[in-house]
Structure 1
Amino acid sequence: MAHFDVFNGDADGLCALHQLRLATPCDATLVTGVKRDIALLERVDARAGDSVTALDVSIDVNRTALLALLERGVSVQYFDHHGSGEVPAHPGLQAVIDTTPDVCTGSIVDRFLGGQYRVWAVVASFGDNLAHAAKELATSLPLEATQISGLQELGECLNYNAYGDSEADLVIAPATLYTLLHRHADPFTFIETEPVFQTLRKARRHDLELALRIRPYASLPEGDIVILPDTAWSRRVRGAYGNSLAARCPHHAHAILTSNLRGGYTVSVRAPLAIMHGADRLCRLFPEGGGRPAAGGINHLPQGQLTEFIHAFGRAWHS
């Protein structure tokens, strides 16, 4: 019987799966991609008796493929923190879903495992821009302040690597990054011994420096909308840049747009960190939008809808 590990290629998906496989090693086919590449279950060629673990990808987006797998006799274990809609009731599905704004998939898996590999849940939370939740988790571990800062940078670098319109935009393919990460039960040995960490660290800093030179396209009382140039570094950095702006101005929302191959924009939205809600609701006003309350995105915003998006952004955080 075959097993498939299906996971988002960002820090949360990587660290959630890493915790599970440290606890329960398993030979598996890896199915992942860039952060926005979340309709992953349709790629799983599983048959009756096979099994799937899915992490950090929305049930809503994968519903049709999930139901097809279950009907074929495939057992599915599902961990996620995105809006899922109604979770299918099926004996072959074990779904552990929590959409609380300060929870990520890594922290859901941490609870499931009883805190067995909590240090990786800290990395996942930092990567998902949940710094307060990460620090709360870290209080239960024997960590010094400098170590917590190191875990934060690791999470941010892992998350940075997931952004792009295709894997060609990324520093390293997520499946390859997971394979390197999974060599290390201790994140500090990964930081100290894997050259890819320094590569990601330098690339992230370089891309952020370039992004910080770009003036906002629109500045509203609610926050800023930034359109980055049509380059690979822009597509890589849009998530990290959005998180950076959110941390600097926690009472403002932010939207980062990059041009895509369809002639429109890919959009990353960050709700104000002070309230951590509204991003998903804004993004779902548009056909290819979604996400979670604190952070959402639109895979394709046609150029003709840019003005509509700006108006919607200006209304999104009014009660």
Structure 2
Amino acid sequence: MHVFYATEFVLPLPPGHRFPMDKYRLLRDALARDPAYRLQQALPATAGELALVHTAAYIDAVERGTLSAAQQREIGFPWSPHLAERARRSVGATVQAARVALAGQGVAANVAGGTHHAYADRGGGFCVFNDAAVAARLMQAEWGRRGPAARSRPLRVAIIDLDVHQGNGTAAIFRNDPTVFTLSLHGANNYPARKASSDLDVALPDGCGDDAYLEALHGALETLQTRYAPDLAIYLAGADVHEGDRLGRLRLSDDGVEARDRVVLEWLWQRRIPVALTMAGGYGHDIHTTVCVQQRTMAVALGYWRRWQAMAQSPHAA
């Protein structure tokens, strides 16, 4: 299974910064011990690719380091050349995962990504560029170059956002766009204070546990099924829904998060919808708790990738 990373590009954060940057390296290192994962360093998204979603002025400010102090505070990271490079590669990782998934692999992943608080003209909430939005737009552009049959309609993309925080930037980018369906299942009382409107928002109360969460998820997927038929999914598999997360406010157990991932990936598999996974948020009191949750997500994804490979080898056995 193809897994893309940009862990060689670490942001120089000030002492005491609350973002757990090392989780990406720890997850990559854990996956590297299993040869079933094909780990590849992500290529950076180009300025042209970013411009499918982001304004030229914002892209230029990130690249040149001319973000204002207020813009940097909103993002939550101080600007540095590493910030710009890492942001581009984080987008590139999701782009590559989506491309591989669509090309027949069925399932691929980014060990980071899920930067859903980035708007077209600004970042926010530890998000610089919106990787899912850029990947969706670029896959649509590449789809349109496949020939007359593909050009007869746009590639339909579903962004299934199960980070504990609402995907406000993604929702705003695709507002009133019928080619991309945005679904966000999130904590009602969590960041951002002012939510945007996704195509489907499901707001959950503080303390929501496994059973209530899974019931809400099943309902959301049923609604998605009645309203949309995607050709590609981008799944934000946030670990911050876990009971051990210091920013999450929900109470999903280890088994509950795994069940969540199985519900989503089984729903996609039954409809043969390729999926690119991103790990999105995760802020455990113990960083190793977050990494373990993400490892289990990757293990579930690996199982479904194997189903896609078995189907390719013997279509009638699927």
Q: What's the TM-score, normalizing by structure 2? A: 0.29
The one of the two structures with greater contact order (alpha-carbon pairs below 8 A, sep at least 6) is: 2
Structure having the higher strand fraction is 1
Q: What's the TM-score, normalizing by structure 1? A: 0.29
